[in-house]
Amino acid sequence: MRKDIHPKWYPDAKVLVEGEVVMTVGSTQPEINVEIWSGTHPFYTGTQRLLDTEGQVDRFMRRLQRREELQKEAAVAEEKRDARNLEVGAMALGTRATNALIEANVTTIGDVLNLLNQGEDNLLALPGVGQKALIDIRRFLRAEELID
């Protein structure tokens, strides 16, 4: 065997965790610094240690809260966007037909749709709503994909 090619062997090398000697082993280094060893590792100790480094839990909770707020805002926007919740004036029927619907207590497009589902005669029976208004109502409802 050739001489002076092998590193020096330390049979009692110290294993240090946070400056404290936890065991001695044979090594080519006199001291070995480690961060985790079997005495502190959760797998061996059976305990879980949660570290909140840099507020990770707080950041996660803020992201979760923001996501819930965005979902609520999206639901409100979807509800507002629903054509059934729009007022009768959005159909642009003209002032006579619009006023006739409002006087009959039909204020939203959903109300008009319900009245139309009961039959066209119910709409035509309202004073101020004629065939042209009925055609315009149907055209608007088809454009909004509320009827076929």
Name which residue leads in pLDDT, 40 or 16.
Answer: 16
- Cβ within 8 Å of residue 74, ≥6 positions away: none
Query: Count of domains in the chain?
Result: 3
Q: Are residues 88 and 133 in the same domain?
A: yes
Give domain status of residue 4, yes or no. no
pLDDT of 27 above 90: yes
The model's pTM is: 0.45
Weakest mean pLDDT among 76-80, 115-119, 136-140: 76-80
* Nearest partner of 105 among 95, 96, 115, judged by Cα: 115
Q: What average pLDDT does this structure show over 71-89? A: 79
User: What is the span of the domain harbouring residue 35?
Assistant: 10-45
Q: Are residues 102 and 61 in the same domain?
A: no
Give domain status of residue 91, yes or no. yes
Q: Are residues 106 and 134 in the same domain?
A: yes
pLDDT of 78 above 80: no
Give domain status of residue 5, yes or no. no
Q: Are residues 95 and 131 in the same domain?
A: yes
Residue 109, token pair as written in the block = 């497009």
Spell out where 10-110 has E strands: 10-17, 20-27, 31-34
